[in-house]
Amino acid sequence: MDTKNLLLELGTEELPPKSLRTLAQSLHDSFVKSLKDLGLGFSSAKWYATPRRLALVIKDLDTKQKDAELEIRGPALKAAFDKDGNPTKAATGWAKANGISVSEAQTLKTPKGEWLYIKTLRKGRDTAALVPELFTNALKALPIPRLMHWGAKKEQFIRPVHTLCMLFGDEIIPGTILGIKSDRVINGHRFLGQKQISIKNADTYVQQLRDEGSVIADYDERKQSIISQVKAIADSVNGVADLDDALVEEVTSIVEAPHIFKATFEERFLQVPSEALVYTMKGDQKYFPIYSKDGKLLSTFAFASNINPSDPSSLISGNERVIRPRLSDAEFFFKTDRKHSLESFFPRLEHIVYQKDIGTLAYRTSIVEKLSAFIAGLTGADETKAVRAAHLSKCDLATTMVTEFTDTQGIIGMHYAELDGEDKDVAEAIFQSYQPRFAGDAVPTKPVQMAVSIAEKIITLVGIMGIGMLPRGDKDPFGLRRAAIGLIRVVLENRLELNIPEVVEKACALMADKFKKGSPAQAVVEFIFTRLKSYYQDQGIDAPIYLSVLSVKPVSLLDFDLRVKAVQAFKTDAAAADLAAAYKRISNILSKAGVSPEAVSDDLLKEPAEKSLVKALNAIEPKIKDFYDHGDYVKAMTSLSELRGDVDSFFDSVMVNDLDEAVRNNRLGILNRLKKLFGQTADISVLY
């Protein structure tokens, strides 16, 4: 079959930079799916995106659909004809829609009845005739939260549309989309190169844009160019660039031909906590900060431009002028705050409402102080330092700096505490109480810092769930899911032994007067342990393993984790499936019997298989108990495989429900011992 290369490009005003990659990928996925649904073959598909265009290039696309024989089923015979044998409206309507009379239809016999049907040949349509509708539908399917219209046009899109190019081979595909007619003329760079370019075909698209229009159409090529240029500037000052991926992506989506330049600011600004400077450089100006090899912010930064003047001095000085007022603001806020100690801001927390049903930040802080002391006592942390850190942990929310640069909360508190001469652990705990702030973020690793971080998260969960504000769908305004996952990570990554229900109960006791419908303790504990499912899924651990451990209700996250790892290892054992089946069978027998005898008498053992099983149990139980006493669930679980042969022989040759009640109860006692032994770590019956 003949093939041609297809080019589709929609030229627009500047698209939202934070959405550009998503829009381009969605356009690609939707259009490619449509091609596949229509049976149109192609060798490759690639999206291109710049601030002012979304484009697709489809290589070796079939020029026509293949002819296809279709079997079209109509209504059932009993619905196709009335009692007199005349066609019903259902039959005549179906026949008319398919261009035949009812008499021309055939009958399809199936086990479920008889139906009218026809065989017909569907002639394949020309691809060029299909493309405009497919492209239109793909554009309509883009994830655009709010559409706009422009001028007198009724058509709506995320931004005003100026050009449309649909080329199949060397020929234009005629059509109008979003009020724009297809043409081979598209826009080049806004400031560089030719303002308009006549594209020959899909093969020349990227190169023509580069050579004639000064536009790099390939998104990832622009991104790599930005990274390499910024790194080169950092290298020139023996520094390390902050190449935060979100910032790089945004800059890639702002420029069509990236040119990176080096600029500086006055070194006096480096007296301000660097996070505030970086906040405004990255967030407001999209500049790339540069650090020294030991992690200190330098007064040199890199910025991207969409133009490349032969003499960039005015461009550089212009950007230096732009950043100076923002840095001066940060300097002013810092100096204003430093007229007072960090603790002096605490009274202001009395006037900042955390949540109307809970109270002020000052009240919440007092609860976190008490819980931090309690957790410190359980974990061996310094209680005095933990309380001090908790007391100061939210003071920076009342500072001018954090009011202006909200993302620096915690960080500014840490710096101000250090400047006040607070203990190092106390200062670090102020910031680390927020950690982990996002997936992949570090967790606190020192005792005081861990105690305050855990207290913060549990008070968030207890307080918000206590007033009935549970997450709904994707809405979680107080970050309860994040708090639970953060708690899990702090505990598990530090291998911290902590009784979660005990800590939650303590938190509930501290906030009891705030709850609307009794204590939320059980709900909070269940919420935390439920979050473990997604935590383990991220580690590639199957849900059945998590569920098998959840069923035995451990109270410690660390104990839960040890059990999960043991079950994971056990599941690779060749005997695991048989033992899990045996455990399920044992549970069913005991459930039906309605009794679970504890004692097993050697005098009532009749069959060799039951004697052998009891002997094996007597030998292995002390060994497994010792493993459990030392928390070695892996060895305890893998030891169960030693019982496989005796368990199989028991079920093959022993009748549990013996007519003699004493013998029957004795055998039920054997099964009860097995069940307890098998189920100590997890309910292995749910693994298969």
Query: Would the pLDDT of 122 be above 70?
Result: no
Q: What is the pLDDT of residue 656?
A: 86
Which pLDDT band holds residue 121 (cuts at 50, 70, 90)? low
CATH number at residue 621: 1.10.730.10
Both 463 and 534 in one domain: the answer is yes
Considering the domain architecture, whether residues 146 and 197 belong to the same structural domain is answered as yes
Mean per-residue pLDDT, 424-430: 96
Q: Which residues pair with 49 in a beta bridge?
A: 54
Choose one of 540, 555, 581: the last residue of a domain. 540
Q: Are residues 246 and 313 in the same domain?
A: yes
Q: How confident is the model over 523-530, as a mean pLDDT?
A: 95
C-alpha distances in angstroms, 457 versus 142, 432, 460? Answer: 37, 12, 5
In a domain, 36, yes or no: yes
166 & 144 share domain: yes
Mean pLDDT of 160-173: 95
- Domains in the chain, number: 5
Identify whether residues 407 and 480 lie together within a single domain: yes
Taking the C-alpha atoms of residue 174 and residue 176, their distance in angstroms, rounded to an integer, is: 7
Same domain, 188 and 42: yes
**Weakest-pLDDT range from 301-310, 338-347, 385-394, 581-590:** 581-590
Q: Kindly give the residue spans of alpha helices, DSSP state H, lying in 467-499.
A: 480-493
pLDDT value of residue 578: 81
Asked whether residue 92 carries a pLDDT value surpassing 70, the answer given is yes
Going 418 to 422 to 428 to 429, the CA torsion angle's sign is negative
556 occurs within a structural domain: no
Among candidate residues 389, 338, 331, 394, the one with its CA nearest the CA of residue 361: 394
Whether residue 552 is contained in a domain is answered as no
DSSP state of 64: B
Using CA atoms, how far apart are residues 531 and 85, in angstroms rounded to an integer? 63
CB-based contacts of 650, cutoff 8 Å, min separation 6: 609, 610, 612, 613, 670
In a domain, 570, yes or no: yes
Given a cut of 80, whether residue 42 has pLDDT beyond it is yes
Question: Per-residue confidence at 472, pLDDT binned at 50, 70, 90?
Answer: confident
Residues 400 and 528 in one domain: yes
Which of 504, 523, 540 is where one domain is finished?
540
Examine the fold and report which residue of 306, 337, 368 is the final residue of a domain before the chain moves on.
337
Percent of the chain with pLDDT over 70: 99
Q: Domain range for residue 108? A: 68-122
User: What confidence score (pLDDT) does residue 435 get?
Assistant: 94
pLDDT for 145 beyond 90: no
Looking at the structure, do residues 478 and 356 belong to the same domain, yes or no?
yes
| Residue from 286, 325, 468, 447 nearest 381 by CA | 447
Global pTM?
A: 0.77
Q: How confident is the model at residue 154 (pLDDT cuts 50, 70, 90)?
A: confident
Q: Is the predicted pLDDT of residue 413 greater than 70, yes or no?
A: yes
**557 occurs within a structural domain:** no
Nearest alpha carbon to residue 575 among 678, 467, 468: 678
- Using the predicted structure, report yes or no on whether residue 1 has a pLDDT greater than 80: no
Mean pLDDT computed over 394-410: 94
**Mean pLDDT over residues 92-107, rounded?**
82
Question: For the residues of 315-374, what is the DSSP string, one character each?
Answer: HHHHHHHHHHHHHHHHHHHHHHHTTS-SGGGGGGGGGSEEETTTEEHHHHHHHHHHHHHH
| DSSP code for 202 | G
Residues 325, 388 within the same domain = no
pLDDT of 143 strictly over 80: yes
Residue 184 DSSP SS3: coil
Per-residue pLDDT, 605: 87
pLDDT digit string (tens) for 530-572?
A: 999 999 999 999 999 999 999 889 999 999 999 999 999 888 8
Residues 54 and 180 in one domain: yes
Same domain, residue pair 72 and 22:
no
Q: Report the pLDDT averaged over residues 403-431.
A: 95
What is the model's pLDDT at position 677? 86
Q: How far apart are CA 228 and CA 588, in angstroms?
A: 65
Residue 558 lies in a domain: no
Average pLDDT over residues 467-481: 86
Q: Tell me, yes or no, whether 559 lies in a domain.
A: no
DSSP-based three-state secondary structure for 532: helix
Q: Same domain for 36 and 158?
A: yes
Instruction: Identify whether 117 is part of a domain.
Output: yes
User: How confident is the model over 590-607, as a mean pLDDT?
Assistant: 84
Q: Is residue 260 pLDDT above 80, yes or no? A: yes
For residue 146, the model assigns a pLDDT of 86
Read off the pLDDT of each residue in 237-262 and give the average, rounded to a whole number: 95
